[in-house]
Structure 1
């Protein structure tokens, strides 16, 4: 009897051991765990594949602008590529600027959640990185298996993705294959072997070039890039559009070529037989969407306009002498435009009228408006770029001289042209100067930028006849119109007129600036 009871006890312990062991093994492969195994930690909970979340690239918590999604401009990595900490992963375009996202881990890239051109959600995973670097491809599903409650849903989604990939048309098969990256181009004898610049990783281009491709209705993945590492340049986009339009015109005219093939051909819209109006909805670009939001907020501000004529004759002469000196020195800055003098004059006027450098704020507790005075003169400069209107900011202009202002302007203009302005370059403005005169237009009514109370619009300079000082002789005058807009809730007309008079006097008599330069 004793032996029979002991035998049954041993069998029960053996069965219990087998069940516990099976529960632990099943948990390691993401299968349903037995309730007895809740206290055991399996390999799945110690996962080595880390999903990297797309962080908020806005101005911070103090900013009222919340960026919820960004466009993936280009990838610098591909699956199975080795990355180090702080290595660049991709370039994204937000509503304001393009930002380069770097890796938080060292390891091997396992999955890209988005393709180039997709909109990535902030706070969601956009790339998976194996931080150990030795996880095999077949082990990836076991390491990243979803929770049991969502396993079936994830499996159905994965099967749907497989079906969609398998059902792609034959002409998209080349686009599915990644083009070689900079790391994978050097093979064999160290020679780079470039293939056709198609595919997710082949559409390397700056935001300005991508914007140009959208304007010309060109698929950038179909263009063979001639830049470094297959990067698509503006010339490539123009050439592709020209060849496309040339072939269309040749087909329509029986093979006749356009008379001027060197210039980009016009793309005429299609017309119907009854000449009916055709309306095509077109989504806004990121920059246009941001401008839509900003101008909607700005037009809630009651504006008033103040304009005056400024005589640039003396500044014109002074600028000519300074540029002649810069040409002899052959430094980094070839010449100085009128704009740095205008910006410096505005900064000097702000010391006498600091209300124009303030912003209007509403107390969240008492719901009462108040003025927030700001010590630094961070002057935003409206720039026309290939991506649209951008307003980079010159920080602390009060501590800068005309030459340093000109150098900073050149830096910001270069970054704006190539679409490389950072969020820091575009944030923190206290007052704005918009120089529309370099394009055309004598008068304008500029719109106040949000979180500011004033803006200056500079018109086109023109030569007009005028009387010489102290005589009746008629001489040439360099005249330009300044148009101010101010927030009439806090700035009255007399204050704006006095501040504008200070700017006018400094520009017309630039020698006075020497007394106040720092």
Structure 2
């Protein structure tokens, strides 16, 4: 009886029980039952705005410069999607997302200095629901706001509210409607945009440095690289188009010359690091020493080795110099050390390093960088050359890591690759020595029998921390390096 009358009973009860919820006796029931109107509830999307902190990207790094943003507020990101690129005093790093969600806030503008451990962006975490469910919830809430709010004193008797999208099914004389089905195609997600504008603000540090030198805006340059990345060729093409535009307008009257205003801009991360380092170096009393080194026999050996070699495999003089310095440091280990004056300023300590981690200064598009060749004492000259080529390529591309730039125990500055014969190199703390290499040149000299001969000569300029290194030790170390290079065959015999 109950089963056969359940449909009619439910309709009857729904129409009458809503009126003050009075007890109703239905035919076929044993006694009165109080029936009250109930509605299904729905739970909205769980949205948690989570601040994304800038993690530690390297030892001793407390701040870094925001080079470019890959997202903007409102853009949807997924885990491991790139958010921005930052530049420290050592290397550039691409920051990726750890969550799925929507970017709500950027805490820094481009070129601002971001602090490590502080919020970088706010991400609205929405991983608990799918995009289709989120669209349905949003659609339902919009429909609900369009309708007039019901009077609380007179409940509506349309029926039960069912479904997460607020679809109302009225239980009355009309047949029950079928539940609303999900759309055949899920609504499109919010834009997951890596490119914030018409043109992508994507470029390597070398390209960005070139753009700044030419006073151009990266947004004005059409990028033809992957994902709209701006290449060097794009800069040249953009400059050429500007010249053509200027040439077309050459017939126009030339306006009066405008006075060029002064510009004030903050230091780049690399410049800021150099500022701090050189300020600390001012406290070091430098002992300076120069000597001429004959490269004649070394260049003869190099030419023999480089014969029939591809350009990438040819040896320069720099790998030989690096190895010669390492052999000299084995004889004079005090020059391969760090001076610790911070642990206890009243009792300085010197830490003699077992490994020869030699830094080689490189002039990169973004500034002076000093990548480190580790364990030179275990390298061959050929492997040193390969490591120099690898580090130079990373420096030009702005891809050196913090590990590539830290831990040097001695430094070489090959200033001769740019120009100049002699230099007074500045010691990089906490190291106690540095060698500056001038440009090699051909000079006239006297032979064994007094005849005039041609020699290839280079000036080596040494600086040592005179607080712990005396002049005699620095001169002996420099003499050992000179003999290793001038008698290169003897040096090769000593290699491991």
Match of 2:284 in 1: 301
TM-score, length-normalised on structure 2? Answer: 0.72
Q: 1:365 to 1:284 in 2, by over 3 A?
A: closer
Match of 1:402 in 2: 381
Partner of residue 354 from structure 1, selected from 333, 336, 344:
333
Deviation at 1:69, TM superposition (A): 3.7
Give the whole-Å Cα distance in 1 for the aligned partners of 2:473 and 2:457.
Answer: 24
- What's the CA shift string for 1:293-351, capped at 9, x where partnerless? 11111122111210000000011011111111533xx9xx4211110000010111111
- What's the CA shift string for 1:11-56, capped at 9, x where partnerless? xxxxxxxxxxxxxx9xx99xxxxxxxxxxxxx98xx6443221012
Q: 1:72 to 1:494 in 2, by over 3 A?
A: same
Give the whole-Å Cα distance in 2 for the aligned partners of 1:91 and 1:179.
Answer: 17
| Aligned 8 A contact 2:72 2:196 in 1 | no
Partner of residue 274 from structure 2, selected from 287, 291, 296:
291
- Matched position secondary structure for 1:211: helix
Partner of residue 216 from structure 2, selected from 215, 218, 221:
218
Give the whole-Å Cα distance in 2 for the aligned partners of 1:351 and 1:138.
Answer: 73
Give the whole-Å Cα distance in 1 for the aligned partners of 2:92 and 2:316.
Answer: 28
Partner of residue 335 from structure 1, selected from 305, 310, 314:
314
Deviation at 1:248, TM superposition (A): 4.8
Single out whichever of 67-76 and 482-491 deviates more from structure 2. 67-76
Match of 1:130 in 2: 125
**For 1:83-482, what aligned pairs fall within 5 Å after superposition?**
83-84=78-79, 86-105=80-99, 107-113=100-106, 114=108, 116-127=110-121, 128=123, 130=125, 132=127, 134=129, 136=134, 181=194, 199=197, 202-244=200-242, 247-248=245-246, 251=249, 254=252, 271-272=258-259, 278-324=261-307, 326-327=309-310, 333-362=312-341, 364-365=343-344, 367-468=346-447, 470-482=448-460
Match of 1:150 in 2: none
| Aligned 8 A contact 1:347 1:398 in 2 | yes
- 1:505 matched to 2:488: no
**For 1:59-78, what aligned pairs fall within 5 Å after superposition?**
59=59, 63=60, 66-75=61-70
Match of 1:51 in 2: 51
| Aligned 8 A contact 2:199 2:228 in 1 | no
Give the whole-Å Cα distance in 2 for the aligned partners of 1:270 and 1:124.
Answer: 47
Single out whichever of 493-502 and 72-81 deviates more from structure 2. 72-81
Give the whole-Å Cα distance in 2 for the aligned partners of 1:249 and 1:179.
Answer: 41
Partner of residue 489 from structure 1, selected from 443, 458, 467:
467
- Matched position secondary structure for 1:425: helix
TM-score, length-normalised on structure 1? Answer: 0.70
- What's the CA shift string for 1:144-181, capped at 9, x where partnerless? xxxxxxxxxxxxxxxxxxxxxxxxxxxxxxxxx99964
Deviation at 1:454, TM superposition (A): 0.7
Give the whole-Å Cα distance in 1 for the aligned partners of 2:488 and 2:406.
Answer: 30
- What's the CA shift string for 1:427-473, capped at 9, x where partnerless? 111111011111110111111112111110000111112233x4333
Give the whole-Å Cα distance in 2 for the aligned partners of 1:492 and 1:131.
Answer: 65
- Matched position secondary structure for 2:197: coil
Deviation at 1:280, TM superposition (A): 2.7
Q: 1:366 to 1:506 in 2, by over 3 A?
A: closer
Give the whole-Å Cα distance in 2 for the aligned partners of 1:78 and 1:402.
Answer: 52
Give the whole-Å Cα distance in 2 for the aligned partners of 1:390 and 1:291.
Answer: 10
| Structure with the largest fraction of helix | 1
Query: Which structure 1 residue ranges, 5 or more long, are not aligned?
Result: 1-24, 30-42, 141-176, 182-196, 257-268
Deviation at 1:212, TM superposition (A): 1.4
Deviation at 1:363, TM superposition (A): 5.9
Give the whole-Å Cα distance in 2 for the aligned partners of 1:311 and 1:138.
Answer: 80
| Aligned 8 A contact 2:423 2:436 in 1 | yes
Deviation at 1:109, TM superposition (A): 3.7
| Aligned 8 A contact 1:458 1:480 in 2 | yes
| Aligned 8 A contact 2:55 2:117 in 1 | yes
Q: 1:72 to 1:368 in 2, by over 3 A?
A: same
Give the whole-Å Cα distance in 2 for the aligned partners of 1:117 and 1:202.
Answer: 16
| Aligned 8 A contact 1:74 1:201 in 2 | no
| Aligned 8 A contact 2:209 2:366 in 1 | yes
Single out whichever of 294-303 and 406-415 deviates more from structure 2. 294-303
| Aligned 8 A contact 2:76 2:192 in 1 | no
Match of 1:265 in 2: none
Deviation at 1:239, TM superposition (A): 3.3
Give the whole-Å Cα distance in 2 for the aligned partners of 1:360 and 1:296.
Answer: 16
| Aligned 8 A contact 1:304 1:488 in 2 | yes
